[in-house]
Amino acid sequence: MIPAFDDSGNLPPGIHPATLDEIETRFGRGSEIREAQMQSIRWLMALVIRAGIRRVILNGSFVTDIIEPNDVDCLLVVDSGMQNAPQAAQADAEIRSGLPYLDIQIGGQNEFDFFAKWRFARSRDNELKGMIEVVL
């Protein structure tokens, strides 16, 4: 279950796991922009599965109480032994070419540690805040 927002409109600190349906119910409705961003997340998840990516973290104004968020910050965490199948390479190329409304970062454990512990873990006002991990 995704926790309630704090007084600043952010999730409480930490990584909160959620299914795509839970994410859509909580964040993907209420405005046209949120619905469009959610559609892009669904497109991304189809590619993530084909590419063999092991973790997806969502952040940014999308996971706040802002009615019309700017974009969705995404961190895709890959294994060093990612699949080399043709469909994985094609999916990876599509992800790297970008999707509407998504600011995508791709990396391994070091990038995960940086984003999850520092960059995504704090607001612009340097307050601790939470993020969402998509349950794959």
pLDDT of residue 95: 94
What is each CA distance from 13 to 42, 56, 121, 127, 132, in whole angstroms? 25, 17, 7, 9, 10
pLDDT of residue 126: 92
Token couple for 1 = 């279950």
Closest CA to 31 of 72, 66, 74, 73: 66
pLDDT of residue 86: 74
10-residue block means of pLDDT along the chain (136 residues)?
96 98 98 98 96 94 96 90 70 92 95 94 94 96
Task: Say yes or no: domain 14-134 is CATH 3.40.50.
Answer: no
What is each CA distance from 15 to 1, 9, 82, 113, 132, in whole angstroms? 12, 16, 23, 12, 6
Considering the entire predicted model, what is its pTM?
0.93
Q: Structural domain boundaries of the chain?
A: 14-134
Listed in sequence order, the residues at least 6 apart from 131 whose beta carbon sits closer than 8 Å to its beta carbon are 11, 14, 15, 16, 57, 58, 59, 63, 116, 120, 121
Question: Whose structure tokens read 């109480």?
Answer: 65
pLDDT of residue 85: 66
